[in-house]
Amino acid sequence: MTAPRTDNRVRRGNETRRLVLGRATALASVEGLEGLSLGRLAAELGLSKSGVFALFGSKEELQLAAVRAARELYVDHVVRPPRELPAGIARVWRLCEAWLEYSRSRVFPGGCFFLAVAAEFDARTGPVHDLVADARLEWITYVEITVEKARRTGQLRADLDVPLLAFELIALMESGNLQSVLFDDISAYTKAGTAILARLRTAASAQAPSLPSRFGG
């Protein structure tokens, strides 16, 4: 009888952890990671504070767990969809489109979780800063790799400055997020997407397939 009881406790613990992290990532995207507390989350979710504390142990561990949980959602919504396409300019565009859709659909209510917490922790030190910075670097590197693979297919100009194009694409995506969140302006995503498409056309080679005229819908 011990094993079933243990299994049930583990299952309940995992369910509670997912529940807490879902609320924590949503709150952090709006109020920042510093706004999280074990007591607040327990109260809002109708859980015992001691039970939540047993799962995370400290505010810092809760913050770190929230960043990791947000990364998993980010990968699901942004990174995986473009992998269905072969390397090329269409995959680069699909990656940008997926990011804009992730922000526009408010996977996190405050827009992009990582933009919110990066602004909060960019000048700090410590484990949370390091984890946020690692996630940011991972994303930049992934965009650069996706662009480089497209260049190698011959669909982007051979002399293309890959890191610069990746920087420009990320800047345009993040500008759309910022304007939309700050001004409650959903049209910012159409502007950002249309600007990204225009930039990709200037980087495209003669062999590149055609791209949509604008982002929207």
Per-residue pLDDT tens over the stretch 180-195: 999 999 999 999 999 9
| Distance from C-alpha of 136 to C-alpha of 114, rounded to nearest angstrom | 8
Give the pLDDT of residue 8: 72
Task: Give 156's strand partners.
Answer: 204
Say how many domains are in the chain.
1
- Residue by residue, pLDDT tens for the chain (217 residues) are 555 666 776 777 788 899 999 999 999 999 999 999 999 999 999 998 898 889 999 999 999 999 999 999 999 999 999 999 999 999 999 999 999 999 999 999 999 999 999 999 999 999 999 999 999 999 999 999 999 999 999 999 999 999 999 999 999 999 999 999 999 999 999 999 999 999 999 999 999 999 998 777 4
| Distance from C-alpha of 92 to C-alpha of 80, rounded to nearest angstrom | 12
Domain-embedded: residue 35: yes
Say how far residue 165 (Cα) sits from the centre of its chain. Answer: 19
Domain-embedded: residue 209: no
Give the pLDDT of residue 137: 98
Domain-embedded: residue 58: yes
Phi, psi (degrees; rounded to nearest 5) at 32: 90, 160
Domain-embedded: residue 212: no
Give the pLDDT of residue 174: 98
Give the pLDDT of residue 2: 57
Domain-embedded: residue 213: no
Q: What CATH number is given to the structural domain containing 15?
A: 1.10.357.10
pLDDT digits (tens, 9 = 90+) for 169-183: 999 999 999 999 999
| Distance from C-alpha of 129 to C-alpha of 58, rounded to nearest angstrom | 16
Domain-embedded: residue 165: yes
Domain-embedded: residue 7: yes
Domain-embedded: residue 215: no
Closest CA to 62 of 137, 141, 128, 9: 128
Task: Extract long-range pairs of 182-189: CB within 8 Å, 24+ residues apart.
Answer: 186/104, 189/100, 189/103, 189/104, 189/215, 189/216
Segments forming the whole domain that contains residue 41: 2-203
